[in-house]
Each structure stands twice: as structure tokens, then as C-alpha cells.
Structure 1
Amino acid sequence: MSSSNATNETTEQLWFEQSINAAVYIGAMAWGLHAAVCYNAARTIILDKNKSSKIWLPFISTLFIMATINICCSINFNQLAWIDERGFPGGPLAFIVTQQNRPVNTASLATSIITIFLADGFLVHRCHVLWKKFYITGTLTLVLLASTVMSILHCVQASRANAALWDQTTLNLSVPYASLAMSLNILLTIVLVWRLLDLRRRLPITVTEEVRQRYNGVEALIVETALPYGLVSFIFVVLYGLGNTGSNLFVPLLVQLEGIIPALIIVRMIEGHAWSTDTLRRVGPAVHVFRGQEGRAAQETAPTTDDVSMFNLGNHSAHSLDIKVPANLV
């Protein structure tokens, strides 16, 4: 049953306005999660005794500040469209489409570009840490630089008078920019998933349940592969490439995810739960049982033989052993 006070706009126009409005609410909810994650990450960094970890505090703080400015500017732009300037010729829809050059909207776009550059740069670093392959790091870095250049050009073009993200005059740069930036996010997720699945496969079967949960758990796979970031980027780039209005819903959310995912990974790094190229070396010899059943040696007294077990791997006073990790584990 339709209301007599309902707008006389077409269904497409109404859905466009609704998507812009709902996107800001979604982004605001994601900002709340970002604030909680940032607080936890900052607390973990500050309490950590390793001074080298303090370098991450300015990084996550910058991401949070940029994401906060971004959502505040988005909220203010919505306020201008639906409240402060509701008498704009053509209504809120015309305001949104033609007033993209407003300083508040330019600030929102600029902060999103800075955030995505920092987040993607961090994920490129993670790919380098896990792969140690020059061709992988080099390729990802080149794509990141190309995406950054396109994003700057897009920001300049979108800030022009009467320009908009959805206007044909800006599609010449906005579509390539969005495609390149989101494709990089997807590529980073694929590279990280590929590597982590390979490392999980090579983890010794004799590791303790605690170690297995730490490195093979669902949390490790979702967080360290930036899976939410890659999935949302994929949905956005498909919808935006098709010109679907639903793509608007994911823009503020993506900005917040760009700050959330690195903070979660940094927490795992500081707590010693994050994967790296030496993880197998660290957990392999310490928990690998070469003879007998797992845990048997922990119940024995000091051995009088040269049996290699969990006990005498950690007991260097009785024997000086040179135990090396099997070649197929490194």
C-alpha cells in the first residue's frame, strides 16, 4: 500500500538515493568495529615488551584516523544532500550527482585513497614475508603503484565541477581505477590464500593441538589472507563494472576494512601467531617426535640412552644433539 506522501521519483532513482544513504550507515557500523580492533591492536603493541613492535602503532593510528575522517565526511555529505540543502534544484539526487566537487566529498575520496594505499602496501609486505620471491613482490608493487597513480587522477577528475563517480564524464578513469584497485585487493588475497594453504599442508602432523589451532584455525585463514577484504572488493568491482547501483553499498565498508584487516594481522604478528617463512622451523623441531608416541617422553625421567624424543630435544645438558629440520619441511 503506497503512501500519499511517497516521493514521485522512479524506482531506479529512489534505489540510488537509498543505496547512498544505507552505505553510510553500513560504513558507520564498520567504523565501530574498526575502533574496537584498533584499540585492541594499540593495547597489544603498547604492552608488548619488544620495542621493535612499536613501529606499528603510528601505522594503525594513521589508518584509523583516515578511516574516521572518511566516514565523517561521508556522513556530512549525506547531511548536506538530505537536510541542509534539501531545496537543491532537482532534489537530493541532483545534489549527489552534481556536487561531487564539494571539499567534504573530496576529503572523503582522498582519505580513502590514502587508506587503500597503506593497507595494500602492508599486504604486499606480508606477501613478501611469506613468499620471499622477487617476481611476486615486484609484480604486486608495480600494480600497487599503477593503482595509486590511477587513484590520484581519479580524485582530481571527480573533484571537478559537475563530476560524479557515476557520470559518464568520469567513467573513463573511475572504472579503470576501481577495476585496478579492487583487482589488486583480490590478487593479494589469492596470493596469500595460496601460500597459507601450502604452509598449512607442510605443517608436521605431530604438532600439538594448540599449535595446530593457532596456525590452521579458521581465524588464521580468514585474517591472514585478508579474505573479507578480497571478497568485498570482488563483489564491488563486479557490480560497479556492470553499472549496478548496489555497488554503492560497499564503498564506505571497504575503507573501514582497509584499516581492520591490517590491525588484526599485526595483533597476530605481535602475539607470535602469524605465519612466516620460519614458522615451520620454529614449530617443527620443538614439537616433532622422531621416536615413540607423542607425549611419551614428557612422562619419562631423564633418559640414559640416546633416544631422540621431545624430552632430550630440550635437554642439552645430557647430550649435545644437532637436530635439523627435514628438508621437506622447509
Structure 2
Amino acid sequence: MPAIVFDPSWQPSEDSATLLDERTWLIGAILTGVGYGIVLVLTVMCISNLIGSLKRPNLNMKLQLASLTYVICTFVFATLFVAGSSKMAQLSFIDYRNYPGGPAAFEEVMFSIPISEMGNVAFVLSNWFADVVVVWRCIVVYKGCRAPWWSVYTVPCLAYTASWILGLLWLVQVSAPASSPWASSTINFTQPYFWTSFSLNVTMTFAIVARLMVYRYRISKVMGKTYGRQYTSIASLVIESSLLYTSFQLLFIVPFAMNTAVQTLFLQPLSQIQIVAPLLVIYRVSSGRAWTSNTSTQIFKSQDRQQVIGSNKLHEMVFAEHQAIGTETTLGQ
């Protein structure tokens, strides 16, 4: 059987840099589909857990419905973005492949057309939904601390407000005809928007990790290292503080600032990763394996060792709420 030979004449007449741009756009669209599959699985798992908890006593129905609404909305946003991304891939690589500059140029110049704009709006809405979860989780973890409530709430709320405002400005920018994140003729809000969201998540991440480490020490001191590890394992820290999301954000922001072709490899999948992170938190909370708003209070009340030694009282107090999941749902209270 003769060997297959690839004729060089089959290759497009673009330079290597243009071809690299096209490859990263296409691979990014494929990775977005992979991320969407993960979002779909997590959505089903979260909804199953939340619906299953309806049978438990002492259920806060309003919070349960809010959690279900959140999960459904994020899934809709993910679906809209995948639809827009897939259609743009079809337009650029098939329907208008001979656009001057190639498919990559088409993706950038046509970033503001309606089908792409649908994906852009879904992207920003997903980002707001993702950011509000990490802010809320930080507030929940710090509930019961000795600092004044306003000192705990002010920084997260201001950071989220800044992200919200810059997200709106970014949408206005990329909605203008022939505009995109790579536009140079107008004020570009791309970097301020993404860096603000990144800074918010990093700040909240460190705050959550610091709080959990304090309680790891307190739980270990009273009950032993086994229980401390249970609460602050690497998986717990990653999921609770959304490190997955912040790490992936960085993979896009740095190449974007350096204006390298790799940036488009991560821009599209970021739409799904920013949904995966809060869904993981929601799944853990609905499964009774995450920090709740009453956990710190219960630990404070259980510092008297004399009431713990020889019994399992602290275990019951700290984890009772986790055994009966219905007392608090996804976003806490």
C-alpha cells in the first residue's frame, strides 16, 4: 500500500503566524466543547442533589429554589456561549474562509456581530455569577469572626461592584461595530475587566484559605489531625476558593497582555471554566461537604476541651449540619 503524501500545494498561502492564530482559535472552540461537557455533567449532579434534598426536614425552600435557579441559569449561559462559539467557527472556517486575513482575522473583526455578541453577553453574565459565588463563600467562611461585619463585607462587595461595572463597559466596547478585545482605536476595557475579576478571585482565595487554615489548627487541636485534614485537604482548598478558575484566568490574561497567539486558546474555554468552579462549590455544599455559615459558630462554642474529651460532641456539633443538608443550601445564608 503506497504511503500517504501531503502535497504542500494543499496548504493555505498564509504565513506561519497567521496559521498559528487560526489553529489556536479552532483548538479553543474544541476545548470549549470539552468544558461544556463538564458543565453539563456538573449541572445534572447539582440538580440531582438539590432536588434530592427537598425530602429532608427543616428545608429553607427559598434558598433551595435560588440554588436551583442559579444552576439552571449558569447552564443556559454556557449553552448560549457554546452555540455562539460554534457558529462563529462555522462562519470563519467554512462559510467565509476566504475572508482577507483568514479565519482568525474574521473572528477578530466580526467579534461584534449578533451571534458573537450573544456569546459575549453570556460570557459576562457567567463571569458575574462565578464572581458572586466566591465573594459569598468568603463572606460565609468569615461569618462569626470577631471583626466588625462591615470590615468583612466591604472589600468583597466593592471588588465585585468594580468587576460588574467594568464588565458592562467591556460589553459596550465589544458591541460597537467592528470592535473587539483587540481594538486599538478606542479605549480598551479588556485588561482592566479581566484583571479586576482575577484580582477579586485571588484576594478572596487567599482570604478563604487563611480562614480555613486557622480552623484547621483549631479543629486539629481539639479533635486530632484527622479531622483537620478532612476540612482543609488540597481538594477542599481548591474547590472552596475557586483556584481552578483563577488559574485558568491567568492562562488567558498573561498571553493577552503579551499579545501572543496562545491567548485565543484559553479565551473561549474560560467561558466554561468560570462556570465549572462555582458548580463544584455548589455540588460540595449540596452534598454536605463544604463550609457553611454556622460552622465557625459551632467551632467557637466547642472550644472547651472538657466537654469534648471522652465523647464525640464536637464532631456532632461541627458536622451535624453537614449530615442534614437541608439546613443550608448552596449559597449559604
Give the structure-2-normalised TM-score. Answer: 0.80
- Of 71-80 and 265-274, the range deviating more from structure 2: 265-274
| Counterparts of residues 1-330 of structure 1 (less than 5 Å) | 3-48=8-53, 49=56, 50=59, 51=61, 52-132=63-143, 133-170=149-186, 172-205=188-221, 207=223, 211-212=227-228, 214-276=230-292, 278-279=294-295, 282=298, 290=306, 309-310=310-311
Q: Secondary structure at the match of 1:168?
A: coil
Flag the 1:99–1:277 CA change in 2: closer, same or farther, 3 A. closer
Q: For the residues of structure 1 that align with 2:312 and 2:123, how far apart are their CA atoms?
A: 53
Structure 1 residues 145-172: Cα deviation after superposition (integer angstroms, max 9, x where no partner): 1222222121122122221222313562
Larger Rg belongs to? 1
Structure 2: stretches of 5+ with no match in the other structure: 1-5, 144-148, 316-333
Q: Tell me, in whole angstroms, the C-alpha distance in 2 between the residues paired with 1:111 and 1:95.
A: 21
Q: Which has the higher contact order (CA 8 A, sep 6+)?
A: 2
Deviation at residue 116 of structure 1 after TM alignment: 0.7
Q: Secondary structure at the match of 1:29?
A: helix
Cα offset, 1:234, TM superposition: 2.2
Q: Secondary structure at the match of 2:220?
A: coil
- Kindly tell me: are residues 312 and 260 of structure 1, through their superposed partners in 2, closer, same or farther at Cα, counting changes over 3 Å? closer
SS of aligned partner of 1:310? coil
Contact 1:17–1:93 at 8 Å: present in 2 too? yes
- CA deviation string 1:73-92 (max 9, x = no partner): 11111110011222334432
Change in 2 beyond 3 A, CA 1:249/1:9: same
Cα contact 2:42–2:283 (8 A) shared by 1:
no
Moved more, 9-18 or 221-230: 9-18
For normalisation by structure 1, the TM-score amounts to 0.81
Task: Indicate the residue corresponding to 1:327 in structure 2.
Answer: none
C-alpha separation in 2, matches of 1:79 and 1:311: 61
- 1:12-36 deviation line (CA, Å, top 9, x unaligned): 2111111111111111101101111
1:208 and 1:287 in contact (8 A); partners too: no
Shift, 1:112, TM fit? 0.7
The answer (yes or no) to whether the contact 1:53–1:270 under 8 Å persists in 2 is no
Displacement, 1:94? 3.0
Choose 121-130 or 40-49, whichever is displaced more: 121-130
Deviates more, 1:170-179 or 1:104-113: 170-179
SS at match of 2:262: helix
Q: Gaps (5+ residues) in structure 1?
A: 295-307, 315-330
- The Cα of 1:205 is off from its aligned counterpart by 4.0
